[in-house]
Chains A and B, each alone.
Chain A
Amino acid sequence: MASESVLEISGLSKTYGAGKKQTLALNRLDLSVHRGEIFGYLGPNGAGKTTTIRLLLDLIRPSSGSARIFGLDTRADSVEIHRRIGFLPGELSLWEGRTGEQIIHYVASVRGDTRGIAKHAGELAEQLDLDTSKRVRDLSSGNKRKLGLVIAMMHSPELLILDEPTGGLDPLVQQTFHDMMDDYRAKGRTVFLSSHVLSEVQAICDRVGILRDGELKAVESVEKITNVEFNWVDVTFRDAVPAGLQRQLESLPTITNISTNGTRVRMRMVGDFDPLLRAISSGYVEMLHVEEPSLEEIFLAFYSGDEEKTK
């Protein structure tokens, strides 16, 4: 049943404002997410990711189109859908004067099962190293995010909808989160995860949808997206840039866009590091800095690659 759709979006559009101030936030989105997969919804800020998620949760109403989750209409059957999903908003706000425990108890009581849910919430809090006895106003942004994750996951939902889930989490907790997602997938549950961080999506997702200016540009496997990936590499030499290095780098097919500034050389690199390391070994390398491309750059690279293939 790997191809069974948990989430189906058809022609979904959302326009904000009216008249001259009208903005098209989402334009005729068609998308399907299968049971048991972790789907990454990738796009720069303002691309329409949060709008999509808020439409799925029936917090805002579509201008046209529809969406179904578990085969149920997101507008007509929102309560039944909400019973079976967990949600973490991108900009999480919780009741500041209440403790984590009180909020967990409140959410569990709205869900109608205080005992079972609260027990699982305790396990999740332990896993995330979260102290739930503190008031929300006394929690750091990272700990608030952890509490949000506990609330989203404590009833073991069939579908998790997470908007920028790891923002504010330290690297160790991010790793714990990735492990939790792997565990989710292993149990056959589904995750719909929005992010503007490529590495996060790469680490945990099976498929990726790329959204830009309210339009879905592509839905691909993570491997395919990764194939077009490149890095920006900065090499700083202690003394001077070795003579002939520029020519040597230009001869390497994996390196392009070379620029030199004093003792620093910057280049765009695809594939393995070995040819580069051999080339720069003639000088004393003080620092080597590898920078992940921006989402926009990945996006452009991905499409220029596609265009080349189709020529």
Chain B
Amino acid sequence: MIGAVFLETLKTTWKQMVYWGIGLSAMGLLVVIMVPLFNMQDMQKLLASFPPVILAMIGVGQDLEIFATNEGFVAIGFFGKSALIFAVYPVVMGMRITANDEDKGTMDVLLSLPVERARVVIERFLAYGVSCIGVVILIYLGLHIGVLLGGVELDVLRLAEVTFYLIPLMVFIMAATMLVAVFVRRRTVALGIVTAFVIVSYMLQTIGLAAEGTVAEPIGAVSFLTYYNAGDILAQGFIWPHIAGFVILSGVLLLASLYRYERRDIGL
């Protein structure tokens, strides 16, 4: 039956989705209710005193004005700092699409049923994509509750844009993880490669931001994290070319995964 794998995946994932969502939203809520404790003008002066490399590590370039706002504070305190944390959930989900079941041997049982390999991959990809959306919705709810509880003046629409921009980012990371797992087969090796990919991307983004205005700046363009910059989103709203880039790349990674998975042996 079409959708059976999708539904089962959702059934076995919703608890993790809720736990991750609650954890991340609690972090966001905490940052939001701390906003009134800070004077944003002092904050700007403080940021200006930091060396560029430190600012780059928390996702801040030379556009300090945008961070001297309540929204900017949340962007630095939550979205900038937590970029690597947001990558963990989609990596975990990406590993579940094929690698975990192949490692355990449960994929043999599933693929002995009347279901194509491609259908398993697509339905799981969609289900874990939905769970990423669920996590992001919970994060937004946490931020919104923080706004209401703390009586904080925040542009809720801008906050929503920064939050929901996470969806294409997380789906892209999940698709990249799935592709690596499909190619290298072994769960532990795949996990190592994906972790290295995320950390190297983070370092390249940091170098790019720290070297703004120099010849080294284009290095940052290589990192996918550069295309999720909370400051830029606060200033410009949804940056559709970047979103389209994430969506297209995710689609390409999915197609490459399907191509490879269809042709190789299972579980060896």
Question: In the complex, what distance in Å separates the CA atom of A79 from the CA atom of B115?
Answer: 6
- The tally of CB-CB contacts under 8 A between chains A and B is 72
Which residues 88-118 in B have Cβ within 8 Å of A in the complex?
104-106, 108-116
- B113 adjacent to A82 (CB under 8 Å): yes
| CB of A151 within 8 Å of the partner chain | yes
Which one of A39-47, A84-92, A192-200 contacts B?
Answer: A84-92
Digitize A80-104: 1 where CB-to-B-CB distance is under 8 Å, 0 elsewhere: 1011010101011111011000000
A82 and B114 contacting across the interface, CB-CB below 8 Å: yes
A93 touches B104 (CB 8 A): yes
Pick out which of these stretches binds chain A: B49-57, B136-144, B222-230, B260-268. B260-268
A107 interfacial by beta-carbon distance below 8 Å: yes
Cα distance A59–B268 in the bound complex, in angstroms = 10
Chain B residues with CB under 8 A of A115: none
| B12 contacts the other chain (CB 8 A) | yes
Interface size of A as a range = 20 to 34
Closest to A151 in B: B109
Q: Which of A61, A80, A94 contacts B265 (CB 8 A)?
A: A61
B112: contacting residue among A57, A93, A112, CB under 8 A: A57
Q: Give chain A residues whose Cβ lies under 8 Å from the Cβ of B264.
A: 61
Taking the closest CB of chain B, its distance from the CB of A225, in whole angstroms, is 29
CB distance from A109 to the nearest CB of B (A): 4
Question: Which range contains the number of B residues in contact with the other chain?
Answer: 20 to 34
Contacts of A82 in B (CB 8 A): 112-115
Given contacts A59-B265, A59-B267, A83-B114, contact A110 B105 (CB under 8 A): no
**Interface residues as binary, A176-187 with B (CB distance below 8 Å gives 1, 0 otherwise):** 000000000000
The answer, among B5, B112, B267, B268, for a CB contact under 8 Å with A87, is B112
- Return chain A residues, CB-CB under 8 Å to B267: 59
Q: Give the contacts of B228-268 with A (CB-CB under 8 A).
A: 263-268
Give every chain A residue within 8 A of B266 (Cβ-Cβ): 54, 59-60
A16 contacts B by Cβ under 8 Å: yes
| A117 to B: closest C-beta gap in Å | 11
Assess the B5–A93 pair: CB atoms within 8 A: no
CB distance from A59 to the nearest CB of B (A): 4
Q: Within 8 Å of chain B (Cβ to Cβ): is A111?
A: yes
Name the residue of chain A whose CB is nearest to the CB of B7: A109
Residue of B108, B109, B110, B112 with most chain A CB atoms under a 10 A cut-off = B112
The answer to whether the Cβ of A106 comes within 8 Å of any Cβ in the partner chain is yes
**Distance (Å) between the CB of A96 and the closest chain B CB?**
8
In the assembled complex, which residues on chain A have CB atoms less than 8 Å from the CB atom of B4?
106, 109-110, 112
* Option from A54, A98, A111 in Cβ contact (under 8 Å) with B113: A111
Contact A93 B108 (CB under 8 A): yes
Between A and B, 9 residue pairs with Cβ closer than 8 Å are A59-B266, A60-B268, A61-B264, A93-B106, A109-B7, A110-B5, A110-B114, A111-B1, A112-B1
- Which residues does B use to contact A, with CB under 8 Å? 1, 4-5, 7-8, 12, 104-106, 108-116, 263-268
Contact surface of A with B, Cβ cutoff 8 Å: 16, 54, 57-61, 79-80, 82-83, 85, 87, 89, 91-95, 97-98, 106-107, 109-112, 148, 151
The 7 closest A-B pairs by CB, nearest first: A93-B105, A60-B265, A83-B114, A87-B112, A109-B4, A112-B1, A82-B114
List 7 additional A-B contacts (Cβ < 8 Å) besides A89-B109, A106-B8.
A60-B268, A61-B264, A82-B114, A87-B112, A95-B106, A109-B1, A109-B4
